[in-house]
A = this chain, B = another copy of it.
Amino acid sequence: MSANPIYLGVVGVGGVARPSRPLLADSPRSGTGLFAGDPPGDWATASATPSLNKTGALPAEEMATYLASAPGRAILVDNTSDINLARSYPTFLKKGISVVTPNKKGFSDDLSLWKEIFSSAAQGKALVYHESTVGAGLPVLSTLKDLVATGDKVTRIEGVFSGTLSFLFNTFAPASGSSNAQWSAVVTQAKELGYTEPDPRDDLNGMDVARKLTILARLAGLEVSRPDSFPIESLIPAELASLPSSADGISQFMTRLPEFDAQMANIKDAAEKEGKVVRYVGSIDVASKAVKVGLQYFDKDSAIAGLKGSDNIISFYTKRYGANPVIVQGAGAGGEVTAMGVSTDLLKVMERLH
């Protein structure tokens, strides 16, 4: 809307930040980059420059002071998954620096940090956009916020929030046709395809889903104290819980996982006997304040059962929409689509700060 430049401080040069550069370059209203030190000519230079990578990163307080000294509105784009940087958002926000980030750590930590982030934003008249903390580029948080802002009552949110767990269960227990694959074989396949974290236990423990649920529940008005303050069903067998997180631990875990195939087959068969399939879902019941993460059975013709590949699906049940929820579905993980979410947020913040 105007020619006032907006200054960006971008932290993090990994999988998300890399594809986001061309996205921003394509957009009609690119901001001016602002870097600590000489502006790097390209991303490769940036990631190899000590003052610009993790080793030599400026303390958050210094970054905030530097950005606040820009002769215009500034935005911190946090492309890391660093809890420490997230803990310093209030410092940026109080100085009037807006925050755009896919980093879910801060928003799913202690409730006190959540409250401090948003009160600091109000104090500094700064904006906080974090769409891609849930569902990457999918319009999940924006839809929830629009429902709440226009006075609808959200009664229930449920869905598949992990691309990895979506793939595992869509493959292990497909809604149409059948599969004879053992659970451990499906996990191995997903690991080989790069669909899991380097340590598959980081997907199977359910914590990533719990963090996303924490964010959604808070936006729906529930005061969730922490992401581990509600029941989370871990898919790591209790007998293997004490294996170390080292490379050797991963290897032992994968080797011993077949011992538990019969357990998972039993769960699948029990669902099948009811004409259903098992899925790993998160749900929030607003009235009873119940937040849950774990296995559940679904009718084969339900949207959750019919999910393909590693897609996410999120259903919002509200007073206004009645029996049939508002549903958002699609790829919810990956560098490209996460970068899309960050870029969308950035464009929206720039439109509002114009």
Contacts and interface: CB of A to CB of B under 8 A. Distances in A.
Interface of A: 1, 22-23, 26-28, 125, 137-139, 142-143, 146-147, 149-152, 175-176, 301, 303, 306, 308-309, 311, 320-331, 336-337, 340, 343-344, 347, 351-352, 354
A96 to B, nearest CB: 11
A308 to B, nearest CB: 5
Contact of A27 (B151, B175, B327, B329): B151
A141 to B, nearest CB: 11
The 9 A-B residue pairs whose C-beta atoms are closest, nearest first, are: A26-B151, A326-B330, A327-B329, A150-B343, A146-B344, A176-B301, A139-B139, A150-B340, A23-B151
Contact of A327 (B142, B327, B343): B327
Given A1-B125, A303-B329, A309 B324 contact: yes
Given A23-B151, A139-B142, A330 B340 contact: no
B306 A301 contact: yes
A7 to B, nearest CB: 18
Given A320-B337, A331-B322, A337-B320, A301 B151 contact: no
Contacts of A323: 309
B320 A149 contact: no
Contacts of A139: 139, 142-143, 146, 328
Contact of A150 (B27, B138, B306): B27
Contact of A352 (B143, B321, B352): B352
